[in-house]
Amino acid sequence: MTRQTILAGACALMLAACGSSGGGDGDSHRPSGRSHLNLIGKTVELSSDHLQTFTGNAQANNIQLNRKQQGRIDQITVNGKTYRLLPEHAVTNGIFREQSGNIKRVIGNNLQYAKYGNYEVKEANGLMSMMFAQGVATPERAMPASGQAVYQGLAVYSQMDKLTGKGFYQTNAHSEVRVDFGKKELSLNVSRLAGGADITPFAFHAKIQGNRFDNLEGTKRMLGGFYGPAAEEVAGWFLDNGRRESIAGTFGAEKQ
């Protein structure tokens, strides 16, 4: 399996939100009772070609692809610098939140083969902020050629009213991904998480290309991939900057 990483700088889109502060406690919401393999701190040895790393700007129009032979899903490298996504004490099987020193992170930790979320670090030359989704990618030869599947999981996103500047930052939500492998199509629906903030549901759509999916539909962009030996998980990020309310977030879900 390969590892693929999808990145986008979030601050250009959600400038007011990225300027907000405040930490947050660990969130134990989890979509199922399955056990999850702990991959933190372990190098993922690959059984096939490459690690795949995708990077893009906030508008997601200049995606780049880098390839490596091995990697760790609990680390991410940007501009030659490597950042640890989760601290050693992280035990949450949901959304992990922490603000410590110059680092602020909101990390989806509910999947076995993938990680996603938002990572910020204050450096000498300014604030580095990114959305990301990465994991051990499903080999293309193992992708289902037909049939349908439903994935349930979590999402973390920010929303801002362009007129008033009001909104919220890195809110937890429920994610559902419906996939038609035969038609090579999928849809992402983000809605209120039980016991969470009252949000307006919204949807994104994409086309499947190999073990990844991508779509630019008007002002909406969604990009992500399938993870695990047999497409057990999906993760990615989504953006919508053309409506009154700008939206930017990431999601991760597992097959039901």
pLDDT digits (tens, 9 = 90+) for 158-173: 888 878 877 777 889 9
Asked if 132 and 7 count as a contact pair (C-beta separation under 8 A), the reply is: yes
Instruction: Quote the tokens at residue 161.
Output: 């009213």
**Does residue 40 carry a pLDDT above 60?**
no
pTM of the predicted model, to two decimals? 0.80
Q: How many domains does the chain have?
A: 1
pLDDT digits (tens, 9 = 90+) for 74-97: 887 777 788 888 887 776 789 999
d(CA 107, CA 250): 10
Which of these, 120, 98, 99, 132, lies nearest to 27 by C-alpha position?
98
Q: Mean pLDDT, the chain, as a whole number?
A: 75
| Band (11; pLDDT cuts 50, 70, 90) | very low
- What values do phi and psi take at 142, rounded to 5? -95, 0
**Does residue 148 carry a pLDDT above 70?**
yes
Instruction: Quote the tokens at residue 142.
Output: 């193992």
Which domain CATH number covers 235?
2.40.160.90
Asked if 92 and 109 count as a contact pair (C-beta separation under 8 A), the reply is: yes
d(CA 2, CA 73): 11
Instruction: Quote the tokens at residue 51.
Output: 């690690």
Q: Which domain holds residue 200?
A: 2-255
Instruction: Quote the tokens at residue 137.
Output: 């990618």
Residue 84 or 205, more confident: 205
Q: Residue 149: is it exposed, middle or buried by C-beta count within 10 angstroms (0-12/13-18/19+)?
A: middle
Residue type, 139: P
Q: Which pLDDT value is given to residue 241?
A: 81
**Does residue 150 carry a pLDDT above 70?**
yes
